[in-house]
Amino acid sequence: MTDVRKNLIVLALILIGILLTLVVFNLGLGPGNPRSRTSGSLRGGQKAQILNTENSRVYPSKLSKSEVNFFNVKSRINKVIFYEEIDSIVYETDFEGRGKKEITKIPNVAEIIFSPNGKELIAWLNERRIIRAAYFEIFENKKLYLPEGVRAAAFSPDGLKIAYHFYNTETGEGNIFISGPDGSNPTNIFKTRISNLKILWPDNNLIIFYTTAETGLIAFSITPDGKEFKRINEEDISFYLGQNIKEKTILDKLGIGASEVKLSPLADYLIFINKDDGKLYSLKIK
């Protein structure tokens, strides 16, 4: 009887062990189950799986909690600055989402362009159904309205000046001006009757302005002193508008669709707006 009792005890222990093993694996805690691996939450700075690919080793870092339409990578430092419409706040963070902090609150924004150093911006504000451009020195909480009629602008590569398109609806006349970022010391370099120009300032000595017509893009280039002016073809303007095609291709190969993408100063991160959720992410590429 003693031997039978011992055998029953051993058999019971074996059965208990088998049952515990089955419970562990059914709960998803086994080493072969993907759920047993730690997965980051979707809070800012945490890793987020947004890929339409089986390559689960690549995890971008989510930088924003909501949709972002305007952002810029700050020159010479590993920081990104962006605007979240949900709370009307400009934020700054590093490329991994660490140290995210509020910089300033700007309600009623229709559009924003950031300076290369991230210390200044120009915002078009929708106030009482009138959209007007304003200059902000965001760390000093300084705000100055630009002249009424400023419809588009671009910072120079060094951030010391802006080129802007001014249009007078009463006279139907417009001008391209060069000025300080706050609109000081304006210089008229070009006259135009086109009302809906967009402006780029990709190089120190090259300003581009363009518009869309039924026949396609119509674009011109001009030097900041206004002395050299010429029309440029659609292929050239497409180059400047699509300067980040290489970076978008990298994301496309990973199954990530990006509406806008920028490369970090050291070319080690891609900062992009994800097409699927509109949020801002970063991806370390080397």
Q: What is the pLDDT of residue 10?
A: 53
Q: What is the pLDDT of residue 90?
A: 97
Tens-digit pLDDT profile for residues 215-224: 778 899 999 9
Question: Residue 24 pLDDT > 50, yes or no?
Answer: no
Band of residue 15 on the pLDDT scale cut at 50, 70, 90 = low
The rounded mean pLDDT for the chain is: 84
Tens-digit pLDDT profile for residues 48-64: 555 544 444 668 999 99
Lowest mean pLDDT among 35-49, 119-133, 194-208: 35-49
Tens-digit pLDDT profile for residues 255-264: 899 999 999 9
Question: Residue 23 pLDDT > 60, yes or no?
Answer: no
pTM (2 d.p.): 0.77
Band of residue 33 on the pLDDT scale cut at 50, 70, 90 = very low
What is d(CA 87, CA 110) in angstroms, rounded to the nearest whole number?
14
Lowest mean pLDDT among 18-27, 123-132, 259-268: 18-27
State how far the alpha carbon of 167 is from the alpha carbons of 151, 184, 222, 243, in Å: 7, 18, 18, 28
Lowest mean pLDDT among 90-94, 216-220, 224-228: 216-220
Band of residue 5 on the pLDDT scale cut at 50, 70, 90 = low
Band of residue 42 on the pLDDT scale cut at 50, 70, 90 = very low
